[in-house]
Structure 1
Amino acid sequence: MRTIDHDASGGTEHDRATRSGAPLIPLPRRSDQATLRSASPARATSAVPASASTGVADLLRGPVRPARVLMSVPAAVYLQVPTERGTDIVGVLTSDAARLPLGCILFRPSNGRPLVTLPSGAPAQVGGGRIVVGDLVVRAAAWWDPRPRLPSLRPALLPEGVRQLRNTLYGEGVPHSAFTLPGLPAGPGGPLAALRGAVRRADLDAALRTATRLIGLGPGLTPAGDDVMAGTMAGLVLLGHPAADRFSAAVFSLAAGRTTELSRALLRHAAAGRVSGEYAAVLQGLVGERPLGPAIEGLLATGSTSGRAMALGLCTAIDLVDRTTRVR
């Protein structure tokens, strides 16, 4: 990323970005120029550097826009930003938070302290290379790509890796039908059972119909039902299923008015193949590009249910790709 060669601070931010594990990708110099033009000298010197997702590059590098706080917790603050196409979400996340595709990752952990102490609805600003929320000023000093680079448009997955993912998720020797998620109805009439049935029949349209039952289902800012569908959508896109775009567009259209704004934003990113760093690590492990075991553990440890739900979505996508595109 363009972070160091054109930055006045020399190698310091490069070292921080390297230690954070963020891949560095070059972006045009105008990002720096816009930042300098729009920031006052006092704020420019006190800004906190962060590694920003290219999924929110247009917002960060664009004109300064008013925003408001959606939610603030010790490891993250989420901002709603009005745009020409509706509302986008940008997150400022500490290094120990999930690496979401809409996030700017700080080079420090939360240590149990909130990033800001502002209530929901408090004003903020996004644009000109910066995020300003309360006394916190964050500058995009490095960039990372939330769409993992895989070996090909339709990558082959390691069979042993797929078995390892399934066994870790479901439990070795445990039937998939026994898998449950908190907040989602279990049993043969539940939505997860319907999704498994659609996969067994290699019926992509039936799998899509389960989205009407899953979107918005479950507690929290990202309901478990949404996370299952986000994992499925992103998996289909990244594994090259020919109907991935149609499937993802249909699921995303269902989300309007049925789920939270944060979850809907993450579904939009999933439809473009932009995923969390933890999800991307599992995919890279499945194609043999990194150790798989630690990647699976990292994903499953994400949130109270999100990581397990996303992993279930990935397994669903793997099965749908295998069963609906296999040469018969």
Structure 2
Amino acid sequence: MHTIDESTGGTPAGAQQTTARRGAHPGRAARAGVPAMHVPRSSPENGAGRRASVPAQASTGVAELLRGPVRPARVLLSVPAAVYLTVQTPQGADVVGVLTSDAARLPLGCILFRPANGRPLVSVPSGAPARVGGGRLVVGDLTVSAASWWDPRPKLPTARPALLPEGVRQLRAALYGEGVPHSAFSLPGLPGGPSGPLAALRGAVRRADLDAALRTATRLIGLGPGLTPAGDDVLAGTTAGLVLLGHPAAERFGAGVTSLAAGRTTELSRALLKHAAAGQVSGEFAAVLRGLVGDGALAPAIRALLATGSTSGRALALGLCTAIDLVDRTARPR
């Protein structure tokens, strides 16, 4: 047996497993009275049904994947705070993540009850085989099952909620900076200047032209480095904002963005754009929206969103501000 435990730092992984088996040096969780989770070592004769499952709080956005038939999957990425798997379904490839409790709460995630510094996740190479379905997710030596569920679509007062004006000003000030013109805003990896895609998006917003904003998506999809390029995050924030704030053309915009994403960006980003089109967002994004309607503290929610990833949080916030403007200008008498 080897133990998923918050052992003291500085001990090699092999030594941790040895001491865990001997029971000589319990980790911090054991000393605090928190029961350690035991996962048997994998072996050819040890099937998934005989493994102890690590509990997680799973997003209802991936409920069909988890509850459906067992399907082969492969590892997309493995880092200390997350393991992402891509799964082939009759509708095409989909993505599900196993995330630590201190990772961004993505709408496709199964959230463990341990932080990354407790090393609860296995380290597996990209492309390694995995399985998803039958109520479980199996990757390497780790089996995860849903102990509870969370809804990634935030509950708002109405289909077209009214936002607190002061809250919107607070979000804009945190994103752009006090006294800084919006035209000066930039994101790493995205071309700036008057001919850049962000300038084109601002122009579409000024004209309340959703079709022009959708055309801008052809320039933003896949633009920027990383597994979730900044251009995609802007579009995810815009799409989800339009859906959740009740823009009448939100469904058309979301369908256009997800269609453009096919073959033009990463698997993870494409999956997140699909969730955005369904109004399914990260916990950090949802907290900001709830704060904007007066449900919860807004300032800490904004800080948490902007701190997400290297550019993701700021790009998502920019997308949300774009959606707010489009909804406002559409509703305003002309």
TM-score normalised per structure 2: 0.85
Please give the alpha-carbon distance, in whole angstroms, between the structure 2 residues aligned to 1:121 and 1:112: 24
1:121 and 2:111 matched: no
**Which of 309, 316, 326 pairs up with 1:320?**
326
Please give the alpha-carbon distance, in whole angstroms, between the structure 2 residues aligned to 1:140 and 1:196: 42
CA contact (8 A) 1:74 1:112 kept: no
Map residues 192-211 of structure 1 onto 2, 5 A cutoff.
192-211=198-217
CA RMSD of aligned residues (A): 1.1
Q: For residue 15 of structure 2, what is the aligned residue in structure 1?
A: none
1:153-198 deviation per Cα after TM superposition (whole angstroms, max 9, x unaligned): 0000000000000000000111001100000001111000110111
SS at match of 1:92: strand
Please give the alpha-carbon distance, in whole angstroms, between the structure 1 residues aligned to 2:148 and 2:162: 31
Please give the alpha-carbon distance, in whole angstroms, between the structure 1 residues aligned to 2:85 and 2:207: 41
CA contact (8 A) 1:94 1:106 kept: yes
CA contact (8 A) 2:114 2:120 kept: no
Map residues 91-240 of structure 1 onto 2, 5 A cutoff.
91-111=97-117, 113=119, 115-240=121-246
**Count of residue pairs the alignment pairs up:** 288
1:106-131 deviation per Cα after TM superposition (whole angstroms, max 9, x unaligned): 00001174722211111101111111
Percent of aligned pairs with the same amino acid: 83
Please give the alpha-carbon distance, in whole angstroms, between the structure 2 residues aligned to 1:112 and 1:63: 31
Q: For residue 263 of structure 2, what is the aligned residue in structure 1?
A: 257
Specify the code of the residue in structure 2 equivalent to 1:91: G
Q: For residue 12 of structure 1, what is the aligned residue in structure 2?
A: none
1:21-73 deviation per Cα after TM superposition (whole angstroms, max 9, x unaligned): xxxxxxxxxxxxxxxxx962x31xx2110000000000101111111101101
CA contact (8 A) 1:51 1:141 kept: yes
Q: For residue 267 of structure 1, what is the aligned residue in structure 2?
A: 273
Please give the alpha-carbon distance, in whole angstroms, between the structure 2 residues aligned to 1:39 and 1:212: 43
Structure 2 residue ranges without an equivalent (≥5): 1-46
Deviant stretches of 4+, over 6 Å:
none
CA contact (8 A) 1:77 1:91 kept: yes
Please give the alpha-carbon distance, in whole angstroms, between the structure 1 residues aligned to 2:332 and 2:142: 51
| Bigger mean CA offset, 125-134 vs 312-321 | 125-134
Structure 1 residue ranges without an equivalent (≥5): 1-37
Specify the code of the residue in structure 2 equivalent to 1:277: G
SS at match of 1:125: strand
Please give the alpha-carbon distance, in whole angstroms, between the structure 1 residues aligned to 2:313 and 2:130: 29
SS at match of 2:117: coil
CA contact (8 A) 1:72 1:114 kept: no
CA contact (8 A) 1:204 1:324 kept: no
SS at match of 1:213: helix
Q: For residue 245 of structure 1, what is the aligned residue in structure 2?
A: 251
Specify the code of the residue in structure 2 equivalent to 1:137: T
SS at match of 2:110: strand
Please give the alpha-carbon distance, in whole angstroms, between the structure 2 residues aligned to 1:65 and 1:252: 24
1:192-226 deviation per Cα after TM superposition (whole angstroms, max 9, x unaligned): 01101111111111111100000000000000000
Specify the code of the residue in structure 2 equivalent to 1:103: G
Deviation at 1:288, TM superposition (A): 0.1
SS at match of 2:160: coil
SS at match of 1:299: helix
SS at match of 2:116: coil
Q: For residue 11 of structure 2, what is the aligned residue in structure 1?
A: none
Q: Who wins on radius of gyration, i.e. which is larger?
A: 2
Deviation at 1:297, TM superposition (A): 0.3
SS at match of 1:221: coil
Q: For residue 308 of structure 1, what is the aligned residue in structure 2?
A: 314
CA contact (8 A) 2:72 2:129 kept: yes
Specify the code of the residue in structure 1 equivalent to 2:89: T
Please give the alpha-carbon distance, in whole angstroms, between the structure 1 residues aligned to 2:109 and 2:184: 34
